Amino acid sequence: MPDISPAPPVQDPFPPDRFAGPVVQADQLDVRYGKNVALNNVTAVFPTGAVGLLGPNGAGKSTLLKSLLGFLVPVKGSMKVLGLDVASSALEIRERIGYMPESDAHIPGMNAVTFVAYCGQLSGLPAVDAMQRAHEVLYYVGLGEARYRNIETYSTGMKQRIKLAQAIVHDPDLLFLDEPTNGMDPKGREEMLELIHDLAHNKNVNLILSSHLLPDVEYTCDHVVVMDKGTVSTCGPIAALKGSHGTVYELRVKGEQDRFIEVLRAAGYEVADTDEDVMRVFVPGGSHHGPKELFALASRQQIQVRHLRLSMPTLEDVFAKAVGEA
Amino acid sequence: MPIHDQGYRRYLGTRSAIGGSWQVMTRAGVMALISKRQFIGLMLFAWAPFVVRAVQIYVSATFTQASFLAPKGETFREFLDQQGAFVFFVTIWVGAGLIANDRRANALQLYLSKPMTSAEYIAGKLTILLVFLVGVTFLPAMMLLLTQAMFAGSLTFIANNLYLLPAITLFSIAQVLLAATTMLALSSLSKSSRFVAVMYTGLFFFTTALFNALRGITGRSSFAWLSPSASLEQLGDVIFRLEPRYQLSPAIAGLAVVVMIAGSIWILTRKVRGVEIVT
């Protein structure tokens, strides 16, 4: 008699419930390199989804990621990744995360598919599964045609892609991406950002993207943690941070721009210089009288306003305010 | 649909337990080496003394006129001494780049971002070297013992020299551990495998030259502890129940070997890290 038992239910290839709670929690974290303080009392919560870790060079972004990986032992504080304590469960954490380092990194003497499969095996995948997934992820990152080439012959952009491939081959719950677009040409950068966006928003991979490039974070992430000088300057959903910032006006005046900036700052406005003599003036809150107030100030100082336009607040504004560049 | 939309899916298969990554490393390392013809050539050449000794045993067992060629306990000691040259070359070939190449390619951070401790990384790399060193020391020496029994048609020789089994094992362990840990420690100190090879050669010859110079000046061989290879020779003589060749306490010779191995492991634990801190 033929077997007429019902077929097993088809599993959703991208079930959304990878991890429900905050993917990373850092509590009063202090990390030092000898006498140099790299992280100073860092407390931050990284929610699920795509989170940008923003900051200028030397802000402590990479140090934070390396601490979360267990490479650096903090002198104070605690960290949890995927609900597990970094100090006591580093291996269990590393089994569930993928790390794409900032610097050029590969295992010498291997072609791409061998390298990625090897990384899969090191992460616990059986050899056959690791090889199958290596082929798949290499196609995914756009290296399908070059997968039998030795990695040492790869261009910088290809090396960035292979680093992403080795980080996702074992299907991690959380990805750490450290400056993933470094050294890439504009087209390659765009493709890399597209991949990261796709991973985060279509494949439900939680990720933390460390970058000093604001557009990269703005395009790929929903939340942001801004770091400066080893501390967290601000954090939250990008949309909320931009919205709570008030109104931004682009302003150009005739002559004595520096003096007018000082006047604006004295009047309590935040001003950021941009190129081409245009300044961005932040008017806090939801006041609709911003233009009137700006014209009045200029009039009192006998300065001619040549250009005034309402502008959309950007992540750059959030960043500038957070790191005190305004 | 873009191709990348089709190329990534969740992995729902099994995962091996944490702690087995070093085996993956060892397997990959061994496979990479045995795929090189020149290296296979070296390994085969390293078995040439075994073939010569096997012929010697065969002749002595078959022809009574050649009974003076019959193996004695010290034959196996001499054999392992001769293999010392191959230990040197295999150590350089296999070991020089084991960690240095990973450091050059920034691979340490990749390895240690996987579910693997630095101890597992060291174990994985060390085992690659040990596999091949055992293949040119312990394995041919034991095969030689079996060959003797086979050609003699009895186990009398082995029964009369039963100490040879632990002696070969113990001396091989000391020989390969000393070479492997020293080389691996040197490999962790540089990003250039060539420089590591030069350092290892330098260490080997410099310490021996220093010992011989002091021996020439003082007329005493009690400075043998300065040379790891001389210390090992002294230790080997004791293990094989032979007259020690240097005026050095076997305990000090053993201590020198242990200190060298322990020092190498200490260097490895300091240098094998996911992040290099320069303060």
User: What pLDDT digit, counting tens, does each position of A162-207 carry?
Assistant: 999 999 999 999 999 999 999 899 999 999 999 999 999 988 899 9
pLDDT at A21: 80
Cβ pair A66:B275 closer than 8 A: yes
Contacts with A238 (C-beta within 8 Å, 6 or more apart), sequence order:
A52, A217, A218, A221, A222, A223, A224, A315, A318
Q: pLDDT tens for residues A265-309? A: 888 787 877 666 788 887 776 566 778 888 888 888 888 888 888
The answer on pLDDT for A6 being more than 60 is: no
What is the rounded average pLDDT for all residues in chain B?
93
A256 and A128 within one domain: no
DSSP characters for B191-243?
S-HHHHHHHHHHHHHHHHHHHHHHHHHHS--GGGGGSHHHHHHHHHHHHTT--
Q: What is the CATH number of the domain that holds A175?
A: 3.40.50.300
CB < 8 Å from B in window 49-68 of A? 66
A2 in a structural domain:
no
Distance CA A71, CA B117 (A): 10
Q: What is the number of structural domains in chain A? A: 2
Q: What is the mean pLDDT of residues B253-262?
A: 96
Q: What is the mean pLDDT of residues B197-218?
A: 95
Residue of A nearest to B118 (CA): A71
Q: pLDDT tens for residues A67-86? A: 999 999 999 999 999 999 99
Q: pLDDT tens for residues A103-161? A: 999 999 899 999 999 999 999 999 999 999 999 999 999 998 899 999 999 999 999 99
A265 and A226 within one domain: no
Cβ pair A137:B10 closer than 8 A: no
The answer on pLDDT for A14 being more than 60 is: no
- Put simply, whether A139 touches B (Cβ < 8 Å) is yes
pLDDT at B209: 95
For a pLDDT cut of 90, what percent of chain A falls above it?
56
- Put simply, whether B115 touches A (Cβ < 8 Å) is yes
A16 in a structural domain:
no
A183 in a structural domain:
yes
Q: What is the CATH number of the domain that holds A306?
A: 3.30.70.870
- Put simply, whether B116 touches A (Cβ < 8 Å) is yes
A186 and A119 within one domain: yes
What is the rounded average pLDDT for all residues in chain A?
86
Cβ pair B15:A69 closer than 8 A: no
A211 and A261 within one domain: no
- Put simply, whether B117 touches A (Cβ < 8 Å) is yes
With H, G, I as helix, E, B as strand and everything else as coil, classify residue B189.
coil
- A136: nearest CB among B8, B15, B16: B8
pLDDT at A274: 66
Lowest mean pLDDT among A68-82, A227-241, B165-179: A227-241
R_g of chain B computed on alpha carbons: 22
A257 and A200 within one domain: no
Reported as type and span, the H/E element at residue B88 is helix B73-90
- Put simply, whether A70 touches B (Cβ < 8 Å) is yes
Q: Do the Cβ atoms of B92 and B183 come closer than 8 Å?
A: yes
Q: Which amino acid is at B17?
A: A
Cβ pair B109:A133 closer than 8 A: no
Q: Which amino acid is at B83?
A: Q
A99 in a structural domain:
yes
Strands A24-33 and A76-81: antiparallel
A7 in a structural domain:
no
Cβ pair A105:B10 closer than 8 A: no
The answer on pLDDT for B49 being more than 90 is: yes
State the ipTM, two decimals: 0.89
- Put simply, whether B1 touches A (Cβ < 8 Å) is no
A206 and A137 within one domain: yes
Structure tokens given for B244: 């020690």
- B4: nearest CB among A92, A123, A198: A198
Q: What residues of A are in contact with residue B113 (Cβ under 8 Å)?
A: 69, 94, 97, 99, 101
- Put simply, whether A35 touches B (Cβ < 8 Å) is yes
The answer on pLDDT for A326 being more than 90 is: no
The answer on pLDDT for A245 being more than 60 is: no
Choose the mutation target among B110, B117, B193 for the interface with A, i.e. most A CBs under 10 Å: B110
For a pLDDT cut of 70, what percent of chain B falls above it?
96
Among A186, A212, A235, the domain boundary falls at A235
A13 in a structural domain:
no
Contacts with A294 (C-beta within 8 Å, 6 or more apart), sequence order:
A249, A251, A264, A281, A283, A305, A308
Residue owning tokens 């996911």: B274
Q: Which residue range forms the structural domain that includes residue A310? A: 245-322
Distance CA B25, CA B31 (A): 10
The answer on pLDDT for A325 being more than 70 is: no
A279 and A145 within one domain: no
A15 in a structural domain:
no
A125 in a structural domain:
yes
pLDDT at A243: 66
Give B1's pLDDT tier (boundaries 50, 70, 90).
very low
Please return the burial class of A171, using the count of CB atoms within 10 Å of its CB with bins 0-12, 13-18 and 19+: buried
Give A250's pLDDT tier (boundaries 50, 70, 90).
confident
CA distance B158 to chain A (A): 43
A162 and A295 within one domain: no
The phi-psi region of residue A259 (left if phi > 0; otherwise alpha if psi is between -120 and 50; otherwise beta) is alpha
Q: pLDDT tens for residues B58-108? A: 999 888 888 888 888 889 999 999 999 999 999 999 999 999 999 999 999
A302 and A191 within one domain: no
CA distance A51 to chain B (A): 20
A188 and A42 within one domain: yes
Q: Do the Cβ atoms of A124 and A90 come closer than 8 Å?
A: no
A187 and A74 within one domain: yes
With H, G, I as helix, E, B as strand and everything else as coil, classify residue A12.
coil
Angle at A21 between CA A42 and CA A173, to 5 degrees: 95
A255 and A169 within one domain: no
